[in-house]
A and B are shown apart, each in its own frame.
Chain A
Amino acid sequence: MQVAPSDTSALNAYPPELRQLLFQYVLQLADTSLILGHRLSEWCGHGPVLEQDLAMANIGLDLLGETRSLYQYAAELEGQGRTEDDLAFLRIATQYRNPLLVEQPNGDFADTITRQFLFDNFHYHCLLQLRASPDERLAAIAEKAVKEAAYHLKWSSEWIIRLGDGTEESRQRLDKALASLWRYSGELTTPTATEKALQATGLIPDYAALLPKMEAHLAHVFEEATLPVPQGAFMMTGGKEGRHTEHLGYILAELQYMQRTYPGLTW
């Protein structure tokens, strides 16, 4: 990689504790887009039609691009000499901080669309706010990524409507997908101790303020899709603190295979 990192002097302005919190948060964002991007890449060559195969590969690539910016920043925040590759390839499942939703398997197209829609609705609205973060690097990454996330949310929203208000079979599959994935949606806006501490400093968005916008968009899309909004379900959490479903281990086994087998291998 020949591109030099941006100016890092601003990092020293943070007290060590805050810098550590920010490292954890940026790592969580990076893990999240990496794992979802990897899931989407699994569709490559298997999409229901060519155009949607390309769409999923494109979205996966956008997420991977965001991932790299985030891991590079995380590595600088940590300041221990680890690189973006070390962070992506040399940590074990319990060290990953992605929410449970994004590690869930692709299933059928309705499962993938549901997972994507629930994530995009959070991702887009969170990035909109993150653009105003006093942390300049995070704000710059968000400013770039939000333009892409808008396309993602438009795509997944339209697919929720097509499947929900589509054929008997598409509706049945969407109902099934929602029944299994809805329980992972709450974790996105349930702050961990790290997130709470950062929200208190104003460096990252307050999720309580995001929720009305997310709920309004979801209500609009579900209404068009003739879907009832699920109510009062128990929400699974833990991914953002390293307690994952069994699926993450398999993803990492695939994702990290090369670096684990041939440590330090480069192109």
Chain B
Amino acid sequence: MVAAAPTEERVWQLLEEVSDPEVPVLSILDLGIVRSVRVEGEQVTVSITPTYSGCPAMNTIATDIRLRLLAEGITRLTIHNQLSPAWTTDWMSRAGRDKLEAYGIAPPVDGTATGHMLNLFGKDTAVRCPLCKSAHTHLVSQFGSTACKAHYQCDDCKEPFDYFKCHA
């Protein structure tokens, strides 16, 4: 069978079905790591950018993209690893943020990136508990279960939870 030449629109639809291996409720489009899709005849080029330099999920994501597109008959695929402009949580979709919270991970609070203000012992970002929705929470550690998350605890329901760090 000869597959019809893929369209850009179709490729984006397929990418929506590829999920983040560490946060499976999010598609890679929700996360904002797909930067561009180019289709020239049968040749498809997808550019992805890592959330963090050492993100161990990047290889898996590249493999998952390849497998998903292959299942659709797309064999001429190049995946580019694009570092600049650097990924920011601003690229995470509204739907992605809602899905994160429903999954038990507090979504990034905009405008709270460490940025270049080191703010030693500064006030912790106020993060809402994704479980009981209380605003009474505190930062346990900036470094959580993965590079992209910080570790918080709720002072009301006492549950520890992950917070997806704002990264701008």
Contacts and interface: CB of A to CB of B under 8 A. Distances in A.
Interface of A: 1-6, 51-52, 54-55, 57-59, 61-66, 68-69, 128, 136, 139-141, 143-145, 147-148, 150-151, 153-155, 157-158, 161, 217, 221, 224
Nearest to B49: A144
Contact of B54 (A3, A62, A139): A62
Nearest to B145: A54
Contacts of A145: 53
Given A65-B55, A66-B54, A69-B53, A154 B82 contact: no
A212 to B, nearest CB: 16
Contacts of B113: 147
A147 B54 CA distance: 13
Contacts of A157: 118, 120
A2 B119 contact: no
A136 B83 CA distance: 10
Interface string B64-105: 001000000000001111111111000000000000000000
Contacts, number: 111
A52 B140 CA distance: 10
A122 B161 CA distance: 33
A160 to B, nearest CB: 10
A154 B54 contact: no
Contact of B118 (A63, A136, A150): A150
Given A4-B79, A6-B81, A6-B82, A154 B119 contact: yes
Nearest to A2: B62
B53 A155 contact: no
Given A3-B62, A58-B143, A62-B147, A143 B53 contact: no
Interface string B106-146: 00000001111011110000000000000000001111110
Given A3-B80, A155-B143, A62 B120 contact: no
Nearest to A51: B141
A65 B148 CA distance: 13
B114 A150 contact: yes
A80 to B, nearest CB: 22
Interface size class of chain B, counting residues whose CB lies under 8 Å from the partner chain: 35 or more
Interface of B: 48, 50, 52-56, 58-59, 62-63, 66, 78-87, 113-116, 118-121, 140-145, 147, 151, 167-168
Given A3-B81, A155-B143, A161 B54 contact: no
Contacts of A61: 52, 54, 56, 147
B83 A141 contact: yes
A147 B55 CA distance: 14
B110 to A, nearest CB: 15
A51 B140 CA distance: 8
Given A62-B54, A65-B54, A66-B53, A154 B86 contact: no
B53 A158 contact: no
Nearest to A52: B141
Contacts of A4: 78-81
Nearest to B63: A2
Contacts of B85: 143
Contacts of A150: 114-116, 118
B42 to A, nearest CB: 17
B141 A144 contact: no
A1 B144 contact: no
A113 to B, nearest CB: 14
A1 B86 CA distance: 21
A5 B79 CA distance: 9
